[in-house]
Amino acid sequence: MTASVRVQSCPRGPLLVRGAEVVLDDEGVAHDVRRPVVALCTCGMSARKPWCDATHKSIPDDAR
């Protein structure tokens, strides 16, 4: 496995990850990557962690 993983940070949004095959969540559980690019939750509020579910949009800027 020589593919590189690329990570792109979205201001006030998720991390976009390309090239990964598996993402480990906080508990060490492995989640298969099934898309060419995935978005990882960074606000901690997603109901589908480790994936972003756009919940960050409902967090007011001053509460971040």
Partner 1 sequence: MQLPHPCGPVSRRVVDCLSRPAFATPEVALGDGPALGDRDLQLALWTLYELSYRGFDDVDPRREWDIGLIALRSQIEDRVESELRAATRQRVTAALAREDDIAALVLALVQQDDAPSLSSYLRRTATREQMQDFLRERSVQQLKESDPQAFLVPRLSGAAKVALAELQYDEFGAGQPERLHQSMYARTLAAAGLDHSYGAYVNDVSALSLASANLMSMLALHRRLVFAGAGHFAAFEASSSVPSRRIAAGLERVGLAEAADYFHEHVEADAVHEQVAARDLCGPLVQEHPSAFGEIVFGVACALHLDALSSAELLARWGVLPETGVTDEVAS
Instruction: Give the residues lining the site for partner 1 (CB under 8 A).
Output: 8, 10-11, 13-14, 16, 34-39, 47-48, 51-55, 57-58
Cβ proximity to partner 1: between 28 and 35 the closer is 35
In whole angstroms, how close is the CB of 19 to partner 1 at the nearest point? 12
- The DSSP code for 51 is B
Cβ proximity to partner 1: between 2 and 9 the closer is 9
30 contact partners, CB below 8 Å, separation of at least 6: 22, 23, 24
In whole angstroms, how close is the CB of 59 to partner 1 at the nearest point? 12
- Report which of 8, 60, 1, 50 is spatially closest to residue 25, judged by C-alpha positions: 50
